[in-house]
Amino acid sequence: MMNKKDITMNPTSIPHRIDYHHAELGDFFDKNRISPGKPQSLKHRQLEKFLQKFAAEYPKDFKLEKLGGSVEDRSIYHVTMGHGPRTIMMWSQMHGNEPTATNAIVDIFNFLLTARESEFVREILDGATIHFIPMLNPDGSEVFLRRNAQGLDLNRDARELASPEARILKGIYDRLKPEFGLNLHDMNGRRTIEVTNKLIAIALLVPPYDENKNNNPARIDAKRLASVMQQALSPYIYEHISRYDADYMPSSFGDNFQSWGMRTVLLETGGWYQDGPEFLVKLNFIAILEACHAIATESYQHANPGLYDALPLYDKELFDLMIKRAKILDGSNPEPFSCDLGVNFIESVQNGKIVHNGVFTDIGDMRNFTAKQEIDGSELLVLPGLIGLLPPDCTDRILDDSLIQDYMKRGYTTLLVEYDLQRNDRLKNKIEQLKKTALRINVGYVVSMDTLANIPLNEQATALGDALADGAIAVLEYENEAHEYHPLTEKIVNWLHMPRFKTKQIRANKNWVEMLQSYDTTKSAKHVLKKGILGRGRIRINDTADLVVFKLQEKKKKIDVSGPEYVFINGRMAYSRNENDTLVKAGLVIHR
Q: Tell me: the pLDDT tens digits for 487-520?
A: 898 898 888 888 888 888 888 888 887 777 655 4
Higher pLDDT, 33 or 420: 33
Query: Looking at the predicted structure, is the pLDDT value of residue 534 above 60?
Result: no
Does the structure show a pLDDT above 60 at 339? Answer: yes
Taking the alpha carbons at both ends of the chain, their separation in whole angstroms is 73
Q: What is the distance, to the nearest Å, from the Cα of residue 576 to the centroid of all Cα atoms in its chain?
A: 25
Q: Are 499 and 474 in contact (CB under 8 A)?
A: yes
> Is 427 strand, coil or helix?
helix
Greater confidence (527 vs 209) lies with 209
Quick one: DSSP state of residue 450?
A: G
Radius of gyration of the chain (CA): 28
pLDDT value at residue 559: 64
Which DSSP string do the residues of 61-107 spell out, in sequence order? T-EEEEEEE-TT--EEEEEEE---SEEEEEEE-SSTT--HHHHHHHH
Q: Is the pLDDT reported for residue 482 higher than 70?
A: no
**CB 171, CB 67: distance < 8 Å:** yes
pLDDT band at 535 (very low <50, low <70, confident <90, very high): low
Mean pLDDT value of segment 408-427: 87
Average pLDDT, rounded, for the chain: 87
* pLDDT tens, residue by residue, 137-176: 999 999 999 999 999 999 999 999 999 999 999 999 999 9
- The amino acid at residue 463 is A
**What would the mean pLDDT of 197-221 be, rounded to a whole number?**
93
Q: What is the mean pLDDT of residues 527-540?
A: 61
Gap between the Cα atoms of 574 and 117, Å rounded: 49
Strands (DSSP E) contained in 8-72 are 63-69
Determine the angle formed by the axes of helices 276-296 and 23-32, rounding to 10 degrees.
Answer: 130
Query: What whole-number distance in Å separates Cα of residue 194 and Cα of residue 182?
Result: 25
pLDDT bin (cut points 50, 70, 90) of residue 423 is: confident
Q: Determine the pLDDT at residue 16.
A: 39
Strand partners, 133: 91
Phi, psi values for residue 56, rounded to 5°: -75, -35
Question: CATH code for 22-57+71-316?
Answer: 3.40.630.10
For residues 119-129, average pLDDT = 98
Least confident window among 181-195, 220-234, 527-541:
527-541
Does residue 479 carry a pLDDT above 50? yes
Residues 427-440, mean pLDDT to the nearest whole number: 88
Q: Between 327 and 73, name the one with better pLDDT.
A: 73
pLDDT band per the 50, 70, 90 thresholds, residue 13: very low
More confident: 277 or 65: 65
Residue 392: per-residue pLDDT: 83
Max mean pLDDT among 5-19, 430-444, 555-569 falls in 430-444
Where residue 529 falls among pLDDT bands split at 50, 70, 90?
A: very low
Report the greatest alpha carbon distance in the chain: 102
Q: Please, which pLDDT band fits residue 349 given cuts at 50, 70 and 90?
A: low
- The b-or-e profile of 104-116 (16+ CB within 10 A means b, else e) is bbbbbbbbbeeee
Question: Can you give the residue ranges of every domain in the chain?
Answer: 22-57+71-316, 328-590
| pLDDT-based confidence at residue 245 (cuts at 50, 70, 90) | confident
- At residue 484 the predicted structure's pLDDT band, cuts being 50, 70 and 90, is confident
User: 421 Cβ partners below 8 Å, 6+ apart?
Assistant: 447, 448, 451, 452, 455, 463, 464, 467
Q: Which amino acid is at 64?
A: L
**Residues forming a β-bridge with 443:** 415, 589
Mean pLDDT of 56-78: 97
With a cut of 60, say whether residue 523 has pLDDT above it. Answer: no
Q: What are phi and psi of 418, to 5 degrees?
A: -80, 125
- One DSSP character per residue, 453-506 reads GGS-GGGHHHHHHHHHHHT--EEEPP--TTS---HHHHHHHHHTT--EE-HHHH
